[in-house]
C-alpha cells in the first residue's frame, strides 16, 4: 500500500535538517517536556527523535502518514489563527516517501503501543508493541530511493551544520523543553528545560557568552518583545547568530534581521552580526505562517510598524547598558 509520493516530498524534505525540524516540531506540538535527538552521519544514515509527549493512539498511527491527515486544525478558519507548529499534515507522508521510517508510539500509560515500519511510502509493519508514553521516530537511509536528491547532499559536516543550526534555534525557542542532541553518539547539545533562556544561551553559545548578553524588554498595543541581545564584543561572523522566535515558532525574516542590524549599526563593523535571540509575541492574526511549506517564512500584516518596534526596543536596551 502506497501512502505517500516522492514528488510532494521534495517541497518539505529538502535535506536532513528539514526532517529534524519537522520531527522536532511534532514532538513540541505533542507537548513533550524532553526531546532526544540522535543523528548518524549528518542525518543521511539515521535521524531519531524520541519524545515523552502525548503520543499517537494505536489506531491513528497509520493515518498520520496520509497526506493532510493533520490532527491540529479543526476548522478552515484555524489557518489564520495557527498556534501549533505543524498544521499542513505534509511532513510525515513526505518523509516516509523518501526513507525507511520506523515509528513506535504510545498515547497511554499502560505500556501498550504501536510499531510501524514504512519503506519508501509502503507500509511494511503495523503491529502492537510495548512502548512508554511518547513517540520514538526513526528515519533511516534518507533519500535511498531518490538518487538524484542523494547526490545533491553535501558533506556530513555541511549537513550536520544545518542540523545543528535547527537544533540551536529549536532549543532557544523552547527553553521549557529539555533537549539532547547527539551526532554519531557524541553529545553536542544539552539544555536543562527549566524555562530559563539564559541557560539555553549558555548551552548553545557558551557560558562566557551568556554573561555578555542583555535582557530585551518592551511592548506596545500590538507587540511584545523579550529575549536577549549580545554586547557588541561577542558579535559573530555569521548572521545565524540572530534568532527570531514569533509566538514560539522560530522563523527566518529578512526585515527583522535588518531591524536588528540597524539598531546596532554604530556599534558593529560591516560583516559582523550581533548575538540576538528575539522572542516576539503578537496576536496570531498579525502574522501569516501559511506562506511556505517549511513554515519558516512568515508575513507580518503591519511589517513597518513591527520593524520600528523591534529596532527601538533593541536601541533602548543598548542605550541603557552600553552607550
Ligand atoms: P502536522 O504536524 O502538520 O499536523 P505531520 O505530518 O507532521 O502533520 O504529522 C501528522 C500527525 O501525526 C500530526 O497531526 C499528529 O497528530 C501526529 N504526530 C506526528 N508526530 C507526533 C509526535 N511526535 N507526537 C504525537 N503526535 C504526532
Ligand atoms: Mg508536523
Nearest CA to ligand 1 atom 8: 89
User: Whole-number mean pLDDT of the chain?
Assistant: 91
Give me the torsion for CA of 253, 254, 256, 259, rounded to 10°: 180
Nearest CA to ligand 1 atom 12: 64
In this prediction, residue 81 has a pLDDT band, given cuts at 50, 70 and 90, of low
- The reported pLDDT for the residue numbered 23 is 97
With the most atoms of ligand 1 within 8 angstroms of its CB, the residue from 64, 73, 133 to mutate is 64
Partnered with residue 198 across adjacent β-strands are none
- The reported pLDDT for the residue numbered 48 is 98
Q: Which ligand is nearest to the CA of 91?
A: 1
Contact 6, 146 (CB under 8 A): yes
Contact 182, 164 (CB under 8 A): no
Q: How many CB atoms within 10 Å of residue 69? A: 15
- The reported pLDDT for the residue numbered 83 is 59
Say whether pLDDT at 47 is over 70: yes
What is the per-residue pLDDT across 52-74, written as a single tens digit (0 to 9) for each?
Answer: 999 999 999 999 998 776 666 55
pLDDT top residue among 296 and 283: 283
C-beta 67 within 6 A of ligand 1: no
Q: At what angle do helices 156-173 and 197-205 cross, to 10 degrees?
A: 160
**Rounded mean pLDDT, 94-107:** 97
- The reported pLDDT for the residue numbered 289 is 79
What is the per-residue pLDDT across 220-237, written as a single tens digit (0 to 9) for each?
Answer: 999 999 999 999 999 999
Q: Which ligand is nearest to the CA of 73?
A: 1
Grid cell digits, residue 276: 540576538
CA–centroid distance, 88 to ligand 1, in Å, is 10
pTM: 0.91
CA–centroid distance, 103 to ligand 2, in Å, is 14
The CB-based long-range contact list for 65-74 (8 Å cut-off, 24+ gap) reads 65/3, 65/4, 65/92, 65/93, 65/96, 65/116, 65/118, 65/123, 66/3, 66/4, 66/93, 67/4, 67/8, 67/93, 69/93, 72/29
**Rounded mean pLDDT, 129-143:** 98
- The reported pLDDT for the residue numbered 281 is 96
With the most atoms of ligand 1 within 8 angstroms of its CB, the residue from 53, 63, 92 to mutate is 92
C-beta 200 within 6 A of ligand 1: no
C-beta 54 within 6 A of ligand 1: yes
Amino acid at each position: 500500500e502506497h501512502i505517500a509520493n516522492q514528488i510532494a516530498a521534495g517541497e518539505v524534505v529538502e535535506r536532513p535538517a528539514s526532517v529534524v525540524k519537522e520531527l522536532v516540531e511534532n514532538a513540541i506540538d505533542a507537548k513533550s517536556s524532553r526531546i532526544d535527538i540522535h543523528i548518524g552521519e549528518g542525518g543521511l544514515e539515521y535521524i531519531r527523535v524520541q519524545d515523552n509527549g502525548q503520543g499517537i493512539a494505536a489506531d491513528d498511527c497509520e493515518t498520520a502518514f496520509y497526506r493532510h491527515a493533520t490532527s491540529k486544525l479543526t476548522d478552515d478558519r484555524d489557518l489564520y489563527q495557527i498556534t501549533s507548529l505543524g498544521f499542513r499534515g505534509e511532513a510525515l507522508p513526505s518523509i516516509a516517501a523518501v526513507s525507511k521510517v520506523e515509528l513506535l508510539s504510545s498515547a497511554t500509560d499502560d505500556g501498550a503501543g504501536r510499531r510501524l515500519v514504512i519503506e519508501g511510502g509502503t507500509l511494511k509493519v503495523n503491529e502492537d508493541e510495548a512502548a512508554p508514553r511518547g513517540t520514538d521516530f526513526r528515519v533511516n537511509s534518507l533519500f535511498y530511493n531518490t538518487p538524484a536528491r542523494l547526490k545533491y547532499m553535501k558533506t556530513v559536516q555541511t549537513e550536520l551544520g544545518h542540523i545543528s543550526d535547527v537544533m540551536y534555534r529549536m532549543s532557544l525557542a523552547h527553553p521549557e523543553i529539555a533537549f539532547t542532541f547527539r551526532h554519531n553518539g557524541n553529545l553536542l547539545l544539552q539544555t536543562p528545560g527549566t524555562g530559563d533562556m539564559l541557560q539555553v544561551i549558555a548551552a548553545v553559545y557558551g557560558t562566557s557568552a551568556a554573561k555578555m548578553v542583555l535582557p530585551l524588554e518592551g511592548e506596545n498595543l500590538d507587540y511584545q518583545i523579550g529575549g536577549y541581545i549580545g554586547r557588541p564584543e561577542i558579535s559573530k561572523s555569521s548572521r545565524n547568530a540572530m534568532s527570531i522566535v514569533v509566538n514560539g515558532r522560530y522563523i527566518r525574516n529578512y526585515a527583522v534581521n535588518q531591524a536588528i542590524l540597524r539598531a546596532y549599526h554604530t556599534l558593529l563593523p560591516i560583516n559582523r552580526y550581533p548575538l540576538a535571540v528575539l522572542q516576539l509575541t503578537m496576536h496570531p492574526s498579525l502574522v501569516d505562517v501559511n506562506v511556505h511549506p517549511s513554515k519558516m517564512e512568515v508575513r507580518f500584516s503591519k511589517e513597518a510598524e513591527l520593524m520600528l518596534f523591534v529596532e527601538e526596543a533593541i536601541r533602548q536596551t543598548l542605550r541603557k547598558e552600553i552607550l
